[in-house]
Structure 1
Amino acid sequence: MHPFKATTRDWLVYTLLGIVADALDTVLTAISPPKRPQGSFLPSDIDNLSNAELLELRKSAPKLHPQAGVVRLTSGTVAKPSQDMDEDAPDPSEANALDRVFSETTIPVPRVRRVIKGEWNFIIVMDYIDGPTLAQVWPTLSTWRKCLVAFTLRRYVRQLRRLQAPPGAPPGPLTVQGPARICESPVFGAVQSHRGPFASYAELSAFFNDRHRRVLDVRNVPQDDPVRRDLFDDSKPLVLTHQDINLRNIVVGEGGRLWLIDWAWAGYYPPWFEYVAMDTQNESARVSGTDDEFWKMLIPFICGPYFRQYRWLAMMSLALCWV
């Protein structure tokens, strides 16, 4: 369901389906609380190796994908370079996000086993999750199984939205120490996907509202037009968002468990960023791994039908092309 084609009726249907799904989630959680896979708590096969040995091992480790920087370090681990936009970042934001998700949710994610400071970045050593991606499995699933996948992903997103930014924490990448960081998100547009840093939520809102005003000025929209009062939606607290949920970033593990990987763009953002980012990432089959229209229809169910926010962003998207 593309936001521009969505009607009030569509919004109502998705909203009601979400209410029913969340009620079912609450009941299922009370009856049988989800548990993290036991393997996540077992020792790792790199525990007895030094940082120097791991860095040396990485030099000859095979890549998991020809164009990716992730390598199969050992039978149980992978190594991935940090992707922070800040050259002087004191810690890797992806590892920070994974640590918080691992410790405060039951979402299956790779456990971070080691963070090593390299010459130019950090090397994150984490568990290797064996299994095909959902992109590979999706065409073989029945409609019912696809709906169960969407329900599971909605439960994951619901858990993430309970992880609010700590008081005073700036929007964007998670940082244990140091100032606000440059934000990278599909929400900022294709021309320049990184902005900031933003010292506060208000500063993030001001950035978008200023771009909104500049577009209206270019289009000579009258000052008393109601559209000028339609501002950036910062009505909800900043929450942890993944921002790259697509079929290629979901691994189908043992027993059909869905593992959420690649948290490089994760950060604290308004809840509707997850919807916009997911819808944007899944417009291209090259990125998402599928052209399946049913998958695209499930996105508003998984993340919530934030059609209005998407249309607002699209209306002022010209201003996101400006530096």
Structure 2
Amino acid sequence: MAAPCAACSWTSERQGSCRYDSHVKLFYGVSDRGVWSLGSNFILKERSNNPPNFEAKNIRFLRENTTIPVPTIVEEWDEQNGRYFMLTKRIHGEALNTVWATMSAAEKEHIAKQTADYIFQLRRLHSPRLQSMEGQPLYSAFLFPNGYGLPHGPLSSDDELWAEMAAALKSVPEKACQRLRERIPSAGPYTFTHGDLTNVNIMVKDGNLAGILDWEASGYFPVWWEFTCAGIGLGQEDQEWKTLLREHMPSYEEAREFWLDFYALSKYPNLNERGEAFLRELLHE
């Protein structure tokens, strides 16, 4: 007898004994969370209630302050066992990653421009501190690569930002750290940032942008962070998408070059070619 499904307890034997075919499907799972499709109209997210868990607050904030197409929240609640649930209406369409290979260059350009136009609305949403909504810390394993799921801030200055970032450089030669500190771009104005514009989070329908998903770790980041993290490609097609998207975004190329060197050195002593080249350049000065 086959072991029952850990998510729903269903077995092939039970399936064979009835005519019921479930339209409740677990279609995404990672770490401590899962996303369920409930028929054709609703999405249910389940995860722990530990931060970063600001998606509902962020979505409500965006609905009040932008026209960005985000999910509609139906209900959210906590369970006593430390689990959190959020029920939203489904944004109908297809994820960009599923249709990218079949799209024409003009269609890709159109979606990139639409996405950048919506994200541009975030540029006017500022905060006096680097923080998540309601004064909560920021979470980003790319901006703060000293550990996954660690809180940072709120932060109120470039010095405080660098101190948090530099925690990932403890073993790096001091001269390299000093050089990076000299190059860090000003973080202000602290700007509301999505932070994960991967092609999985972009919904398209009938040739147009239908929605932008996954706002759970968004918050007020350095003004240059949206452009910079839009250069982190998760696979070839995602890299193609983000390269195109950046062409329509305000450019912070110097900040991106700074971060690429910083992130490369954060892997010290296991450096990639970029990190090795950075250290060689310092040694020959």
Tell me if TM exceeds 0.5.
yes
Q: Which residue, 188, 196, 199 being the options, matches 1:247?
A: 199
Q: Which residue, 298, 305, 310 being the options, matches 2:256?
A: 310
CA RMSD of aligned residues (A): 3.2
Q: Secondary structure at the match of 1:184?
A: coil
Instruction: Point out where structure 1 has 5 or more consecutive residues left out of the alignment.
Output: 1-59
| Pairs within 5 Å for 1:225-264 | 229-234=182-187, 236-253=188-205, 256-264=208-216
User: For residues 122 and 254 of structure 1, do their structure 2 counterparts lie closer, same or farther at Cα, with a shift above 3 Å needed?
Assistant: farther
Q: Percent identity?
A: 22
The CA distance in 1 between the partners of 2:230 and 2:197, in whole Å, is 6
- Look up the equivalent residue of 1:183 and give its one-letter code: Y
Match of 2:37 in 1: 72
CA offset digits 1:41-74 (Å, max 9, x no partner): xxxxxxxxxxxxxxxxxxx942133656111235
The CA distance in 1 between the partners of 2:24 and 2:143, in whole Å, is 34
Match of 2:65 in 1: 104
- Note if 1:114 corresponds to 2:75: yes
User: For residues 205 and 311 of structure 1, do their structure 2 counterparts lie closer, same or farther at Cα, with a shift above 3 Å needed?
Assistant: same
Q: Which residue, 127, 143, 164 being the options, matches 2:105?
A: 143
Instruction: Point out where structure 2 has 5 or more consecutive residues left out of the alignment.
Output: 1-22, 269-285
Q: CA deviation at 1:260?
A: 0.4
- Note if 1:134 corresponds to 2:96: yes
Match of 1:12 in 2: none
Relative to structure 2, which stretch is displaced further, 131-140 or 247-256?
247-256
CA offset digits 1:151-175 (Å, max 9, x no partner): 111101101122223x4xx423323
The CA distance in 1 between the partners of 2:169 and 2:144, in whole Å, is 16
Contact conserved, 1:213 with 1:228, CA < 8 A, in 2? no
Equivalent residues, number: 242
| Pairs within 5 Å for 1:121-200 | 121-165=83-127, 167=128, 170-175=129-134, 180-189=136-145, 192-200=147-155
Q: Which residue, 245, 248, 251 being the options, matches 1:299?
A: 245
Greater per-residue helix proportion: 1
- Look up the equivalent residue of 2:139 and give its one-letter code: C
Q: Which residue, 36, 40, 54 being the options, matches 1:93?
A: 54
Q: CA deviation at 1:305?
A: 2.6
The CA distance in 2 between the partners of 1:233 and 1:205, in whole Å, is 10
TM-score, normalised to structure 2, is 0.71
Contact conserved, 1:93 with 1:174, CA < 8 A, in 2? yes
Greater per-residue strand proportion: 2
Q: Which residue, 224, 229, 232 being the options, matches 1:277?
A: 229
Q: Secondary structure at the match of 1:187?
A: coil
The CA distance in 2 between the partners of 1:142 and 1:318, in whole Å, is 34
Q: CA deviation at 1:132?
A: 1.4
Contact conserved, 2:131 with 2:138, CA < 8 A, in 1? yes
User: For residues 215 and 208 of structure 1, do their structure 2 counterparts lie closer, same or farther at Cα, with a shift above 3 Å needed?
Assistant: farther
The CA distance in 1 between the partners of 2:63 and 2:117, in whole Å, is 15
TM-score, normalised to structure 1, is 0.64
Higher relative contact order (CA 8 A, sep 6+): 1
